[in-house]
């Protein structure tokens, strides 16, 4: 079955960096647009950015220039490199299909705080 497993979250100080990873299975990974989403406490889940099968990326304005999405189609992995983190980036981060999300994984918690 379709499965997404996120990892790499943690506690980081403002201005710091984290790299999230997502392992996907149960579908032909290489042909899907993949996305990273996040949900902050009390807020709706939002799309942070996406990457097409050929590596083209799009980002939400709030993270543009700070976050970078990449993928490894041979290993069914997608990454989110987060730099210059801000307290407002605190959220649970999820990966999923970028166009029409499927079943959600457990996500990985990112907390940006001093």
Rounded mean pLDDT of 69-80? 97
Quickly state the pLDDT bin for 113 (edges 50, 70, 90). Answer: very high
Question: End-to-end CA distance of the chain, in Å?
Answer: 40
What pLDDT, on a 0 to 100 scale, did the predictor assign at position 16?
A: 98
What pLDDT, on a 0 to 100 scale, did the predictor assign at position 99?
A: 86
Q: Which residues contact 53 (CB under 8 A, 6 or more apart)?
A: 30, 31, 32, 33, 73
Rounded mean pLDDT of 34-44? 96
């Amino acid at each position: 079955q379709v499965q997404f497993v996120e990892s790499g979250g943690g506690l980081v100080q403002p201005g710091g960096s984290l790299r999230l990873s997502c392992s996907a299975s149960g579908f032909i990974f290489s042909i899907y647009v993949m996305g990273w989403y996040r949900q902050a406490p009390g807020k709706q889940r939002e799309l942070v950015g996406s990457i097409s099968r050929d590596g083209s990326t799009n980002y939400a304005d709030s993270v543009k220039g700070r976050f970078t999405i990449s993928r490894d189609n041979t290993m069914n992995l997608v990454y989110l490199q987060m730099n210059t983190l801000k307290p407002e980036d605190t959220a649970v981060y999820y990966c999923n299909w970028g166009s029409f999300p499927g079943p959600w994984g457990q996500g990985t918690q990112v907390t940006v705080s001093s």
